[in-house]
Structure formats: C-alpha cells, structure tokens
Amino acid sequence: MTKRASKSFTTTVFVFSALLIAFALIHSSMPAGVSDGESIGIAEYLTSFFKSIGVNIEITNHFLRKAAHFTEYTAMGMLFTLCAYSFNRLQPYRYTPQVLFAGLLTAVADETVQLFADGRAGMLEDVWLDFAGVITGFALMLIFCLLIVHRRKKHEFGNKKGK
C-alpha cells in the first residue's frame, strides 16, 4: 500500500531541495578568490569563537570547506529522502536508487561547474565526499522516517486493540 504525504509537504521538500541544489551550484560557480575569501572569513570567525569559550582550536580553510561540503550534502541527502517519503510514507526506502542517483548527479554537476569558474577545479575526491554526505543524510533521515512509521503503526494497533 502506498500512502502519499500531503501536497504542501511534498511541495515544501521539493522546493527546499531545489534551493539547496541552487545554493551549491551558485557557490561552485564563484571565482576562487571570492570563495576563498568567504571561507577564510568564516574560518577566522569560528577560530575566534572557539577561543572565546576556552577551546584552543584553529579551523583551517581546507577543513572548513570540506566540512561545509559534507554538511551541505548531508542536508541534501536528508531532503531527497523526505522527497521519497512524500511519495511513499510507509516505504520510502523503495526510492533508494533514485535518492542516491540524485545525490551523485548533483555532486558531479557541482564539481563540473567548478571546472568553469576562475581559479577553481572540480575534484573527484570532492564528488566522493559529497556523495558520502548524501549517503549519511539518506541513512539518518530514512531511520527517522521508519521510526515515525513504526510509531504510527504501534499507535494505530494500540487504538484498535483497545476498542
């Protein structure tokens, strides 16, 4: 049995997914100088923040960029999983190939865009890092969705049993 989510839920997760993809591609199209300046500023802010709370750690530009990519694609994997959930709330895992393909395709497009930006380079290792983020987000959100389904079934069974 297929049980779809509401149209407003479906529209919301698809819009947020599209916005996150656009965000990734826009940032990938930035020239190296602009992108580095943005990353360096955030890394310096985070380093000073941690020092202000007594944690002596220096956030490097390289680490920040890799962590940001992984986090961004983890969120993307979560959103793509919610898209699958919107089509089949009881068995969102049936859309695993589509979710993973969409994540991999987005990662490849993201790195391809960088090939055409001044001073940037598309890197295969970044595709793998991005895809690892998609898989992580997919797994986390799938577990969450399945827990919700299990809880609802348990609740429905309890209500039927009590009648």
Question: 146 is written with which tokens?
Answer: 């399945």
Residue tagged 């049995």 (tokens): 1
Decide if 92 contacts 145 (C-beta within 8 A): yes
Instruction: Give first-to-last CA distance, the chain, whole Å.
Output: 24
How far is it, in rounded angstroms, from Cα 18 to Cα 13? 9
Based on DSSP, count helices (H) and strands (E) in the chain, helices before strands: 5, 0
How far is it, in rounded angstroms, from Cα 43 to Cα 27? 17
The one-digit pLDDT tens for each residue of the chain (163 residues) are: 668 888 999 999 999 999 999 999 999 999 999 999 999 999 999 999 999 999 999 899 899 999 999 999 999 999 999 999 999 888 899 999 999 999 999 999 999 999 999 999 999 999 999 999 999 999 999 999 999 888 877 777 666 655 5
How far is it, in rounded angstroms, from Cα 9 to Cα 5? 6
